[in-house]
Structure 1
């Protein structure tokens, strides 16, 4: 059999093949036309919706501009009139106020010879001393609370910022008292003793160890024997200890 025999068709077969090819071409052309028409329709629909939105925006903008014009023509003058009335009434009230030209009140200060109590005075009383303001008054009271009270006026030198010059100015206005709190050295716990400014960690630990070894501490002389305490430490802490 020769290969040309495969290309031989009868007349009816040729007609069928031609019709099939025509149908295929028509199908492709129809699909192409429909796809183009659908895409155009989508684009047109989208463009049409955008146009409608833009037209709606223009109408709203026009209406808003008209309202603003009306507001500026009618509302603003009324508000201006009210604000002017408010300014006039405020001006009249200020003119009639008795404290209009009054100077800024100054803190009352002590005169020469007047004094305050070292441990009883609060911050307001401390500020009455010439040279003492809010900052120093707050520092003094805070440090006094840590100590449990001042034993002497000289302890004010330990407050941060009070130098010899300032101390010499304020000391004549201060009267010492004995209203300070003592430490129950045999009853207080470690943390409670450590809060006192005159006791450090090593000293408190030495006190606790001494209590464990022999029981209650009888006098300051037992602390003098400890290496953790200097003579200066003993001098400062002795007035605060209760045995």
Structure 2
């Protein structure tokens, strides 16, 4: 069989092939026309949708501006109302509640020639002396209680912080008295004697041992003979001892 035989068609077959070709061309043309129409419709639809979106966006902008203006006016009016309410409240509070003022009374200091008693004065009296405040007044009263009272004004020099300059300033305002207590040296316990600022542990122990040895201490001279006491110690403690 020769290859030309494959290209040989009968008349009916040739007609069928021609019709098939015509049908294919028509389908292609129809498809092209339809695609163009669809694209135009799509463009029109897209244009219409864009216009609608733009119009809606513009409407929303106008609506937001109206809301902002309304809200701003509302905020301003609300702020004005709040400020007015606060002002009214403050005015009412001022009218109803009287002002409270804390008054601090300054301590009246002693004038020249005025005095206080050495052992009868409390902290308020001590603060009346020029140069004496709360700190020194508390220290003086505390030391006074430990001693059982001051024997002389000179003992104020023993208070912590009172130097010669301050002592010279305050001493004219102080008058000595005899309102001080004494130590019952033959009756008091070890701990009671040890509380006194003028007696230390060794001295109290010597007093207790002397009482055990002699039964009773008769005078200050017996303490002066002990090694635990110096002449200065005897001078300071003598006014406070009672035999």
The alignment's TM-score, normalised by the length of structure 2, stands at 0.63
Change (3 A) 1:77 1:241: farther
Query: Which residue does 1:54 correspond to in 2?
Result: none
Query: Which residue does 1:58 correspond to in 2?
Result: none
Please point out which of 61, 80, 87 is paired with 2:90. 87
Distance in 2 between residues matched to 1:82 and 1:228, nearest whole Å: 83
Distance in 1 between residues matched to 2:118 and 2:96, nearest whole Å: 46
- Show structure 2 runs of 5+ residues with no match: 1-74
The structure whose Rg is larger is 2
Distance in 1 between residues matched to 2:80 and 2:239, nearest whole Å: 78
Query: Which residue does 1:165 correspond to in 2?
Result: 165
Query: Which residue does 2:195 correspond to in 1?
Result: 195
Q: CA deviation at 1:105?
A: 3.2
**Is residue 175 from structure 1 mapped to residue 175 from structure 2 by the alignment?**
yes
SS at match of 1:108: coil
Query: Which residue does 2:185 correspond to in 1?
Result: 185
**Is residue 139 from structure 1 mapped to residue 139 from structure 2 by the alignment?**
yes
Query: Which residue does 1:228 correspond to in 2?
Result: 228
Distance in 1 between residues matched to 2:164 and 2:93, nearest whole Å: 52
Matched residues, number: 170
Q: CA deviation at 1:87?
A: 2.6
Distance in 1 between residues matched to 2:180 and 2:85, nearest whole Å: 63
Q: CA deviation at 1:76?
A: 9.0
| CA deviation map 1:7-37 (0-9, x unaligned) | xxxxxxxxxxxxxxxxxxxxxxxxxxxxxxx
Distance in 2 between residues matched to 1:82 and 1:215, nearest whole Å: 89
Quick check: 138-147 or 105-114, which moved more?
A: 105-114
Change (3 A) 1:225 1:79: farther
Q: CA deviation at 1:148?
A: 0.0
Q: CA deviation at 1:107?
A: 1.3
Distance in 2 between residues matched to 1:78 and 1:216, nearest whole Å: 92
| CA deviation map 1:81-126 (0-9, x unaligned) | 66434432455689x86x96x9853211000000000000000000
Change (3 A) 1:91 1:152: same
The alignment yields a C-alpha RMSD, in angstroms, of: 3.0
| Superposition map of 1:9-48 within 5 A | none
SS at match of 1:239: helix
Query: Which residue does 2:151 correspond to in 1?
Result: 151
